[in-house]
Structure 1
Amino acid sequence: MPAAKQSINPDVLAWALKQAGVSKDELARDLGVSSDVLERWFSRDDAPGMTQLRKISRKLRRPTSFFFLPKVPRHSPTEAAFRHPLGSKGKRSLNSDEVAELRSAQRRQKIAAWAAENLEELAPELPKREKSAEATALRVQQWLLWNVEFQVKATSKNRVTKLIRRSLEDQGVMVLQVSMGRDSCRGFSIYHQRVPVIAYNGSSQTAAARTFTLLHELGHLLAHEQAVCASPQDAEERWCDRFAAAFLLPKSHLRDYLAFKKYDYVEHDDVDIVRLISQRYKASFQCVALRLIDLGVADWSLYESVRNSPLEIEKGGFGGEAQTTEIIRMREYGLTFPRLVLAARDRGKLAEIDARKYLNVDGEQMTSLQHRLTEV
């Protein structure tokens, strides 16, 4: 018996393809059908079977029921400031992984904002962004109660990433770790008065680069920015880079260290000095190079030398702790999102089944997650 045809709405399918950044040819290839077969679906002369619809659902990250909607959804996307893949130049379109993660982040932000409003949580007060990246970095250090000695004394670059993420969350910023692949952007930010979001790509960066991304995206949030960056080389991107570097490598502290080491000028190929500074401040090679250039003790040829340096190597692993579902969720969602969801459930604002769905856990895992949240 032939598989039953599913009378989906081809207009909705076309809309979903566009939103996911997937072409018709790519979909046909993944489904193992010809372009002619796909075109018959769009012209309503034919329709996919259930197995094919499930594959479409997985590919476009939409529930199967979505494709039976009577009309295309009203779409007013939240724009985001995207940080492009390392070393990319010029304009480009978002890929399907980036679109999917942005959409997921938007959903979590909407849920978190609803919970915060119903719980009467105070909206975070982001510090004022100054014209100078240097002055803004000083202001943000005070806001986060941050001292550069935290970096110097930290046992690893990964530890600094965790400390800065926790400091941001303590101030009401929702920080998400997303997986978009190594060729995707390094992070994005979505401003919201009650629940601003920073997301960083956990699959494409070293720990030090993640720290830099967190701060770079914070620079966008301070401007209440929600515009897609047209180019990784534009003025706004450069400002956010300078802000992140100034935060991690404060001028007076770094100058004292350079004087102590008797480094008057860093030559274009002196990657060893960059490595030493990187180890001291737990900052990425590129961050160090940018800061040295900004302070006038190096030129742009140094940045080109360290962009893909093989010396910036990081050991993998998770420190030996079993990667249970609740630990994975805390790494992905951070503290802000699960705390708001669980508080809404505990206050009777949210049903148990919905809380589980939003946190992607079962009952036992949710209990364990709540217990862990009380310990951090």
Structure 2
Amino acid sequence: MSMRDLSKRLQMDVADLRSEVEGKSEPGLGVIGKIARELSLPKFAFFMSRLPELDSGLPDFRSDEPNETQKSRQTVDVIQFAQGVQRTAIELANEPARDLPQFKATAVQDLDAFAFSARNYFGISIEDQRDARDAKAFYTLCRKKIEDKGIYVLHASFPSEDGSGFCLAHPEHPVIVVNTKNQTRARRLFTLIHELAHVLMGKSGISDPFIRKNAIEKRCNRFAGAFLAPKAFIHTLLKNATPSKHPDTDDVAWVSRRLKISQEASVLRLEQLGIFEEGSHSSWLAIVKSRGGNPDYSEKGGGGNGAPPPQEKTKLARYGFHFAQVFSPLLATGKIDPINLYRATGLKPAYQKAYFDYAKSLTSDELLDLDLDDE
């Protein structure tokens, strides 16, 4: 990070910052505090004789060559939150993920066949998708079934410029984080399955499924498309209706509602399968951009009568099902206390029991109609 980069993030004049940092024997504590906050570091780190050990950064798979990149303070905070959950699970949890399908990064593989076998492994049926009320309901069902296999799926809001989601790969305690910033549930679903591909590949990093500049991202996207829209079942999911080969935006929106996946993922997948003509995605993208933006980013938050949703529901939305399954017994048996659970994961003691009890109480029928709003 250059001095100019840092000054912009601190909203300071670059000359003033340079004077503080380089022109004095020791910068003022006010400046150090601002820098520490922006970089998500403790102030004492700047006074240490050696650089402290920090969690490694995440490669950015939106680049030609996935390398670490600068990220906003909010994004760094979310990464540290996810690393705290994973680190605590590695240390204490008794319920690791086992026997997950292995997705090879470079091997010649029938991706459509592998994606469908992975879908079967997670128990997500075509009937589940066809009969789901909408994309929101299908997203919750997919998330629950993925978490049932030992994968943490967390929600957090961070600038969309820093990606749609990320994965912290681990053979027993993998973590997926889905960015809730503006993404519709249909787009979140594609992000979730794209990050699942990273988990099965063992590749940690930040992604946006619709920025595909390297071979890994292209493979993960092909996996996600085949997982969510299997070739053999497209017509079943479309309820045997035949879409136009030359789709307009209404056609794409209709297909998206039937498949319960994002509009962009729908047009890409159907073009890939030859149901839409070649170039349909480019044409659709040009039209939606001319009309003001991608509809997959237009979802507004809940609200209803203005009353906030119950905390146990917002905590379930943020932390998910597997987190409750793992940490509830650890808390009950004293392997971790409420304060240390809060320090490790950010889950406040006041909400721990209500969230854990709520997550355990949900029946299969209730899951079908579960409506989880973001905090």
TM-score interval (norm. to shorter): 0.7 to 0.9
User: Greater shift after overlay, 217-226 or 94-103?
Assistant: 94-103
Partner of 1:128: 102
Partner of 2:354: 368
Q: CA deviation at 1:213?
A: 0.6
**Which of 43, 49, 52 does residue 70 from structure 1 map onto?**
49
TM-score normalised per structure 2: 0.80
Stretches of structure 1 that go unaligned for 5 or more consecutive residues are 1-17
Whether 2:178 is the aligned partner of 1:163: answer no
User: Greater shift after overlay, 134-143 or 339-348?
Assistant: 339-348
Larger radius of gyration: 1
Instruction: Specify whether residues 354 and 91 from structure 1 end up closer, same or farther in structure 2 by C-alpha distance, changes over 3 A only.
Output: closer
Distance (whole Å) between structure 2 residues aligned to residue 28 and residue 315 of structure 1: 33
Instruction: Specify whether residues 365 and 255 from structure 1 end up closer, same or farther in structure 2 by C-alpha distance, changes over 3 A only.
Output: closer
The residue type paired with residue 328 of structure 1 is T
The residue type paired with residue 190 of structure 1 is L
1:25-174 aligned at under 5 Å gives the runs 25-29=4-8, 31=10, 33-43=12-22, 45-75=24-54, 77=56, 79-80=58-59, 82=60, 84=62, 93-96=69-72, 97-116=74-93, 120-129=94-103, 131-174=109-152
Distance (whole Å) between structure 2 residues aligned to residue 367 and residue 259 of structure 1: 43
Q: CA deviation at 1:195?
A: 0.7
Q: CA deviation at 1:220?
A: 1.7
The residue type paired with residue 221 of structure 2 is D
- Kept in 1: contact 2:96–2:173 (CA 8 A): no
- Kept in 2: contact 1:31–1:52 (CA 8 A): no
The number of aligned residues is 346
Partner of 2:265: 287
Whether 2:167 is the aligned partner of 1:181: answer no
Distance (whole Å) between structure 2 residues aligned to residue 154 and residue 79 of structure 1: 35
- Kept in 1: contact 2:97–2:149 (CA 8 A): no
**Which of 328, 333, 342 does residue 342 from structure 1 map onto?**
328
SS at match of 2:276: coil
- Kept in 2: contact 1:325–1:361 (CA 8 A): no
- Kept in 2: contact 1:338–1:359 (CA 8 A): no
Instruction: Specify whether residues 254 and 31 from structure 1 end up closer, same or farther in structure 2 by C-alpha distance, changes over 3 A only.
Output: closer
User: Greater shift after overlay, 243-252 or 57-66?
Assistant: 57-66
Partner of 1:233: 213
Distance (whole Å) between structure 2 residues aligned to residue 271 and residue 233 of structure 1: 26
Q: CA deviation at 1:302?
A: 0.7
User: Greater shift after overlay, 169-178 or 143-152?
Assistant: 143-152
Instruction: Specify whether residues 250 and 30 from structure 1 end up closer, same or farther in structure 2 by C-alpha distance, changes over 3 A only.
Output: closer
**Which of 302, 310, 326 does residue 318 from structure 1 map onto?**
302
Q: CA deviation at 1:172?
A: 0.5
Deviations 1:61-88 (A, max 9, x none): 22333333332123562645x564xxx9
The residue type paired with residue 103 of structure 1 is Q
Partner of 2:339: 353
Deviations 1:250-269 (A, max 9, x none): 21221456794344x612x5
Distance (whole Å) between structure 2 residues aligned to residue 323 and residue 360 of structure 1: 19
Distance (whole Å) between structure 1 residues aligned to residue 20 and residue 160 of structure 2: 34
Whether 2:171 is the aligned partner of 1:215: answer no
Q: CA deviation at 1:139?
A: 0.9
Whether 2:229 is the aligned partner of 1:249: answer yes
The residue type paired with residue 360 of structure 1 is G
Q: CA deviation at 1:315?
A: 5.2
Instruction: Specify whether residues 75 and 151 from structure 1 end up closer, same or farther in structure 2 by C-alpha distance, changes over 3 A only.
Output: same
Q: CA deviation at 1:296?
A: 1.8
Partner of 2:175: 197
SS at match of 2:116: helix
1:10-21 aligned at under 5 Å gives the runs 18=1
Deviations 1:186-224 (A, max 9, x none): 111121011111111110421111000111111122122
Deviations 1:135-154 (A, max 9, x none): 11211121111112222222
Distance (whole Å) between structure 2 residues aligned to residue 351 and residue 24 of structure 1: 42
Q: CA deviation at 1:40?
A: 4.5
SS at match of 1:291: helix
Distance (whole Å) between structure 1 residues aligned to residue 262 and residue 183 of structure 2: 10
Partner of 1:9: none
TM-score normalised per structure 1: 0.80
User: Greater shift after overlay, 314-323 or 219-228?
Assistant: 314-323
Distance (whole Å) between structure 1 residues aligned to residue 57 and residue 14 of structure 2: 33
- Kept in 1: contact 2:21–2:27 (CA 8 A): no
Please give the root-mean-square deviation of Cα atoms over the aligned residues, in Å: 3.2
Stretches of 4+ aligned residues off by more than 6 angstroms: 88-92, 227-231
Distance (whole Å) between structure 2 residues aligned to residue 362 and residue 90 of structure 1: 39
Instruction: Specify whether residues 55 and 65 from structure 1 end up closer, same or farther in structure 2 by C-alpha distance, changes over 3 A only.
Output: same
Q: CA deviation at 1:44?
A: 7.2
The residue type paired with residue 113 of structure 1 is I
Q: CA deviation at 1:46?
A: 4.1
Q: CA deviation at 1:316?
A: 2.7
